[in-house]
Amino acid sequence: MAVVALSDVVVLLGRFPALAGATLSVEAGQSVLLQGANGAGKSTLLRLCAGLLRPENGTATVLGSDLFKDRRAVRQKVGYVGHLSMLYDDLSVAENLRFWANAAGVSEKQERAAAERMAIDGRLFDVPVKALSAGQRRRTALAVAAARRPSLWLLDEPHAGLDQAGRDIVDELITDAAAAGGAVLVASHELDRVAPVVDRFVTIAGGLAIEQSQTQQAGGHVDLV
Amino acid sequence: MAVVALSDVVVLLGRFPALAGATLSVEAGQSVLLQGANGAGKSTLLRLCAGLLRPENGTATVLGSDLFKDRRAVRQKVGYVGHLSMLYDDLSVAENLRFWANAAGVSEKQERAAAERMAIDGRLFDVPVKALSAGQRRRTALAVAAARRPSLWLLDEPHAGLDQAGRDIVDELITDAAAAGGAVLVASHELDRVAPVVDRFVTIAGGLAIEQSQTQQAGGHVDLV
Amino acid sequence: MSILSEVRLIMGKDLRIERRSKIALNQVAPFAILIVVLFGFALNADRAALTTFTPGLYWVTVLLASILAVHRSVAIEAGEGAREGLLLSGLRPASIFLGKATALISQIFLVSIVLLGAVVIFYDARVDDAVLLVTSLVSAVVGVGAAGTLYGALLGAQRARETVLPILLLPVLAPVLIAATRAFGDAMGTVATDGWAWTALLASFAAIYVAMGVVSHGVLMEEN
Amino acid sequence: MSILSEVRLIMGKDLRIERRSKIALNQVAPFAILIVVLFGFALNADRAALTTFTPGLYWVTVLLASILAVHRSVAIEAGEGAREGLLLSGLRPASIFLGKATALISQIFLVSIVLLGAVVIFYDARVDDAVLLVTSLVSAVVGVGAAGTLYGALLGAQRARETVLPILLLPVLAPVLIAATRAFGDAMGTVATDGWAWTALLASFAAIYVAMGVVSHGVLMEEN
Amino acid sequence: MVSVDQTARADSMGTSSKTTRILGGVLLAGIALWLFLAFVVTEPDIRIDGTSGQEIGQFDAFRLIYVHVPVVFVAYTAFVVTAIGSIMVLVKRSVWWDLVAGASAEIGALASALTLITGSIWGRPIWGTYWLWGDVRILTTLVLFMLSLGYLAVRRLEGTAEERARRSAIVGILLVVNILIVNRSVEWWASQTIHQDSTIAEAAIGGSKAFTLFYSIVLAMGLFTWMMIHRFRLAWLERQFDRFGLDDALTSRRAEAASVLEGEMS
Ligand code: HEM
Ligand SMILES: Nc1ncnc2c1ncn2[C@@H]1O[C@H](COP(=O)(O)OP(=O)(O)OP(=O)(O)O)[C@@H](O)[C@H]1O
Ligand SMILES: Nc1ncnc2c1ncn2[C@@H]1O[C@H](COP(=O)(O)OP(=O)(O)OP(=O)(O)O)[C@@H](O)[C@H]1O
Ligand SMILES: [Mg+2]
Ligand SMILES: [Mg+2]
């Protein structure tokens, strides 16, 4: 069964149809790159799949739950990393990791492993999140999501702000997740970077999702202008 | 005379020496890539040069003004684009452009030209900034800075969030600025992208600035791990 | 995870942030004391009036301070999108409500105790019936905290929150003001009334709002 | 650009944002009226006391409402780092101060007029000397707005602003509270005092804070 | 985004129907009759003091009763409807009921404001003051009005239609709970009232006055119904209008994808 099954989905932000009838299906074990111009609707699609937005029209099922009816069930199972870090500014990195691991019912061991995986500098554990640099913050957010070992990853420009080492880790994360039978949706503008690690390319444009053909995938670069 | 002349500069964030004795000199007409690991001090260096942070030690002159004494003179002349958009959420894109152009004493024509240059979609002019997507917001912020035609550009990960077309525009912006005799400092992790458009590479590490040799520049990729 | 440990988790987090930022202690409490002093100026330092109206002025001040505390409680989640993090965490909405409410209530309680000291000093308030005073204080504070958490969650990350919250919350809390003022009036011997009857009203208010919070938090979080 | 057009630019921006969000009108004013009503409950509906203390209660309320308005004025700049944008813009600090202060003052003025209507109705306030009333009102509001803008700028984007601002601002405004209460007392015939002398004090306070703001805003912005 | 012909379509729909036009006509005639009854048929409240022989009573101010009491009834009815609507939103997940609740709350807020205003105006000559602290009805009316403003403020917050509906529904239900609590507390707090009893007793209401009062209540309920229908239809049309707008918006949004789709074809 498809992990993500959207058909003709409309999502309104205010009155604006950020998604205007998108159709997309993603199987377990697949990783998909969402590309497209600014304002095309990539972030909206990811937030929809995370159960954070309400579809207006169409049909939408994620991880077996209907997004019109049971968004709560979806939310618990996805690993969403968006533009905001979802961390508490006043707590230290270690405290944030601990809190979110507890909240998701994740063991301390799993949490440590995730922090290690994201190569979070030991010095940072006691630094309050508000003092972190952009990239350090992003790493911590990724570690929080990774600790939960989600079966569906929703990554919104995950490379942005990360240094070379961090980028390699994210690439690994994507490949590993797909290999382990999870599904991954990555919105990104760094096509050259993401192309080698994903299975499929989908272009989002004008609130629609357009599958790219094999040939274009091979090129790894689809010009949108 | 050097546009940016820093020598042994220390900058404290709280008690943490984010810059720990950085030395850097940039001439007019030069564009410089600042690369380095997360938390190395790139953003701090840019904010220092914009006159937004106070140096603690060393000597620091930007655009002829001493950063210990006259940061105000510096601020007016730089084009700084950081992580925050510096826009008013409640005002529309057009109103924001108008306001900031007025504030900087920029003519309406120049303002229009900048918006056109950043290829801001006409539909967006009446959309309130709070409703913009990440990339649209970034474009608007860049347009505000571009309208002022600064002689020193300070760009903190300017490509982040921009689509393919937007990235090309930023590259052009950098090349044109340097060609017109301005100076450009770009902090970025997208080395492959920025390498071709800049003249020099500087690695920031541990709060220090380390000039890269020609050969490493040619490679366009410096591994930091 | 059991509901109880979920509640403890959320409460612990809020209290830890408070311990770190010391906002209730270092900022809300002084604010409350300042208002008490301002009333002194406003009533032209009319000693008799101050003593008579101590219960009322005390409770208006507690309500205003509570609004600040509610703001802070909501702001903790609003900042970097942590609110969405909670949605994604799978914690029960009821636990989130109870956890945040408990943390808020303990902070308001702290502030109101400090303020009690202030009115004893500045307004020369005397306490005739300490048991009544404390019981009514606790009931009132629980009600205020529960209602505050409920309406705070309702407004969530809305940017208009700062200004909508007071106009939503103050009319709702008007009964608490009336009842707590009366109960304090009895306990301080400034009004002849049955303080315990008013305390019963305060307790029912608290019970209703805790129950409503537990129920409606689910609806709010499920469907936002 | 001339100072005047800079001031107009900043003021126009703040007022446009207010027109869009209608916060002063739809939220701060109702909040103020609510507090006036709460005082009614708090003072046990003691008609005589309410009338006697109308000036004081009115001014405590104006101060509390002003704090909300100052928050809003600062929040406009704090959100997406617009404050730094202003620093980088090259606008004169004095113009920024005057622009924001003018916008704030006009909003506080609006609210205090609405509130005047409320106390006339709820507290049965009567106005003996309208000229004195209006003059003292204007002087007081200018002072409050100027001081609010100054301290608001001081706190800037600090996250603790919500709670620090009141404890910083209220003591500073204590003289305004006293003087305005007295002046209103004379104008409303509740106290025998020379209202014009107090109005002179208010005017000096306003003048001092406007001057301080113009001068120190430069220092604040230069050296933050 | 809305094209001209669609604007025209929406215009021609309007908020009235044959039924409401008839109801409107009847109500208009009703208002004329009401004015006649209130100002011509009924007498002012003038009595002769038994001992001094002077004229006492409320004189023409008494006529305010024909506005004051009816609007109170409207306010109460409106908030009951809001409460029912709010419950139905949560039970049936229906936006229809949300519009009912919202429309009704607006009328309720207006009516409670009118109650306060007419009451205060009336109070000035009768009690010598606009406002009476310590009176149960007056204070509960005031708090009710303020609560309804809070409810309306929540309705105006940002969010999608569904989101707003649920949020408002919770506040709408709390509104009723609040009213009950407020009523209890104020009743205890200010059990004394010099409000209506004495008025009715002293003014010896009866005959044409009683009839006119009764008539004006019926008329007010008719007006409430008429306003409800129109306000609701307006809200409904706004929704429909958004729907029309949505079709256009969807088309122009999809058009943004044209260039990419072309690339895909070739
Ligand atoms: C701001 C002031 C006032 C408010 C808020 C107010 C409010 C109310 C309310 C809520 C009711 C309905 C009572 C119920 O059935 O529960 C009512 C009824 C009534 N009011 Fe007022 N009132 C005000 C002033 C006055 C004044 C000044 C008068 C005349 C002296 C007056 C005369 C009446 C009468 C005659 C009724 C009908 C009594 C009954 O059938 O219960 N009201 N008013
Ligand atoms: N209230 C509104 N009015 C008009 N347009 C709106 C409104 N809210 C959102 N939008 C539009 O909805 C779209 C949201 O797109 P989304 O954030 O999903 O884009 P994206 O593909 O993630 O873009 P980016 O690459 O820039 O992150 C934007 O085009 C934005 O302008
Ligand atoms: N209060 C503090 N305590 C400890 N460390 C701090 C504090 N404030 C800032 N820092 C550290 O200062 C550094 C700031 O670096 P800066 O933001 O300039 O990094 P950067 O090179 O821009 O990184 P990135 O690539 O992630 O954007 C970070 O390492 C951060 O952890
Ligand atoms: Mg996006
Ligand atoms: Mg950085």
pLDDT digits (tens, 9 = 90+) for A107-150: 999 999 999 999 998 889 999 998 999 999 999 999 999 999 99
* pLDDT of D143: 96
Helix spans in chain A (H): 42-49, 71-77, 93-103, 108-117, 134-147, 164-179, 191-194, 214-219
Q: Ligand 3 centroid to B58 CA: how many Å? A: 20
Per DSSP, the residues of E75-88 read HHHHHHHHHHHHHH
Helix spans in chain E (H): 4-13, 18-36, 65-92, 95-127, 136-155, 161-189, 196-202, 207-255, 258-265
Mean pLDDT, chain D, rounded, equals 87
Q: E31: Cβ–Cβ under 8 A, 6 or more apart, which residues?
A: E219
Q: Ligand 5 centroid to B17 CA: how many Å? A: 15
pLDDT band at B10 (very low <50, low <70, confident <90, very high): very high
Which chains, if any, share at least 3 CB pairs under 8 A with chain D?
B, C, E
Q: Is A200 helix (H, G, I), strand (E, B) or coil?
A: strand
* pLDDT of B225: 37
* pLDDT of E204: 56
| Per-residue pLDDT tens digits for B147-188 | 999 999 999 999 988 999 999 999 999 999 999 999 999 999
Find residues 48-77 of chain D whose CB sits inside 8 Å of chain E.
50
Say if residue B45's pLDDT is above 90: yes
* pLDDT of E200: 53
pLDDT band at D76 (very low <50, low <70, confident <90, very high): confident
Q: Which residues from A are below 8 Å from E255, CB to CB?
A: 206
* pLDDT of A222: 44
Say if residue D199's pLDDT is above 60: yes
Annotated domain spans of chain E:
67-245
Q: Ligand 2 centroid to B131 CA: how many Å? A: 7
The mean per-residue pLDDT over the stretch D70-96 comes to 87
Kindly provide the b/e burial profile for residues C144-165, where b requires at least 16 CB atoms within 10 angstroms of the residue's own CB: bbbbbbbbbbbbbbbbbbbbbb
Greater confidence, B199 or B225? Answer: B199
Q: Is the CB of A83 under 6 A from ligand 2?
A: no
What distance in Å separates residue C2's CA from the closest CA in chain D? 34
CATH code for the domain defined by B1-77+150-225: 3.40.50.300
**Pairs from D46-53 (Cβ < 8 Å, separation ≥ 24):** D46/C52, D46/C53, D46/E133, D47/D124, D47/E133, D49/C49, D49/C52, D49/C53, D50/D122, D50/D123, D50/D124, D50/E133, D51/D123, D51/D124, D51/D125, D51/D190, D52/C49, D52/D190, D53/C42, D53/C43, D53/C44, D53/C49
Ligand 3 atom nearest B46 alpha carbon: 18
Say if residue E36's pLDDT is above 80: no
Say if residue B122's pLDDT is above 70: yes
pLDDT band at B93 (very low <50, low <70, confident <90, very high): very high
Whether A218 has its CB under 8 Å from any CB of chain C: the answer is no
Q: Do E260 and A207 touch (CB under 8 A)?
A: no
Per-residue pLDDT of chain A (225 residues; tens, 9 = 90+): 789 999 999 998 888 899 999 999 999 999 999 999 999 999 999 999 999 998 988 999 999 999 988 888 899 899 999 989 999 998 999 999 999 999 999 999 999 999 999 999 888 999 999 899 999 999 999 999 999 999 999 999 999 889 999 999 999 999 999 999 999 999 999 888 888 999 999 999 998 988 876 444 444 444 443
Whether D31 has its CB under 8 Å from any CB of chain C: the answer is yes
* pLDDT of A219: 43
Q: D204: Cβ–Cβ under 8 A, 6 or more apart, which residues?
A: none
Whether A83 has its CB under 8 Å from any CB of chain E: the answer is no
Q: Is the CB of A46 under 6 A from ligand 2?
A: no
- The CATH 3.40.50.300 portion of chain A extends over 1-77+150-225
* pLDDT of C45: 65
Q: Is the CB of E224 under 6 A from ligand 1?
A: no
* pLDDT of E6: 43
Q: Do C23 and D163 touch (CB under 8 A)?
A: yes
Greater confidence, C135 or E249? Answer: C135
Q: Do A89 and C80 touch (CB under 8 A)?
A: yes
Extract the residue ranges of chain C whose pLDDT is less than 70. Answer: 44-45, 157, 159, 222-224
| Per-residue pLDDT tens digits for E40-87 | 777 776 767 667 777 666 666 777 888 898 999 999 999 999 999 999
Nearest bound ligand to CA B124?
Answer: 2
The mean per-residue pLDDT over the stretch D209-214 comes to 92
The mean per-residue pLDDT over the stretch E193-198 comes to 60
Nearest bound ligand to CA B34?
Answer: 3
* pLDDT of D46: 74
Ligand 1 atom nearest E203 alpha carbon: 35
What residues flank ion ligand 5 with Cβ within 5 A?
A 133-134; B 43
- In eight-state DSSP terms, residue A92 is B
Of B37, B124, B163, the CB nearest to A189: B163
Of B38, B136, B160, the CB nearest to A163: B38
